[in-house]
């Protein structure tokens, strides 16, 4: 049995090309991540036009991480609200069934 090699994807970030291997089926995720990073870099560059290289990359990465943390917190709050609604519904059904 012969293992198929992962294709190499060449992506461009800050004008530099990187050869990356993405797991099978994850090529589109890699492409989306590259687009997201390049958008974040462009936004950061507009806000801080004097930043270049590593400093620009680090600040953009921190901004992306901050967004991810906020999204995770929002997701957790939504889960808590949904769980509270489910618990209330289960309690209401239980009371209705026990009253019958």
- For residue range 24-45, list pLDDT tens digits in order: 889 899 999 999 999 999 999 9
CA distance readout (Å), 86 to 73, 79, 81, 83: 20, 10, 9, 5
Give 65-83 pLDDT, tens digit per residue.
999 999 999 999 999 999 9
- Asked whether the predicted pLDDT for residue 7 surpasses 90, the reply is no
> Which burial class, exposed, middle or buried, applies to 51 when counting CB atoms under 10 A from its CB (0-12, 13-18, 19+)?
middle
Q: Is the pLDDT at 3 greater than 70, yes or no?
A: no
pTM: 0.72
pLDDT at 64 > cutoff 60: yes
């Amino acid at each position: 049995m012969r293992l198929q090699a992962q294709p190499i994807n060449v992506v461009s970030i800050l004008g530099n090309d990187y050869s990356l291997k993405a797991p099978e089926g994850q090529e589109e995720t890699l492409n989306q991540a590259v687009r997201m990073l390049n958008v974040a870099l462009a936004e950061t560059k507009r806000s801080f036009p004097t930043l270049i290289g590593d400093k620009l990359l680090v600040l953009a990465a921190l901004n992306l991480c901050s967004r991810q943390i906020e999204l995770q917190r929002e997701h957790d709050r939504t889960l808590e609200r949904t769980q509270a609604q489910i618990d209330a519904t289960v309690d209401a059904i239980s009371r209705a069934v026990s009253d019958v």
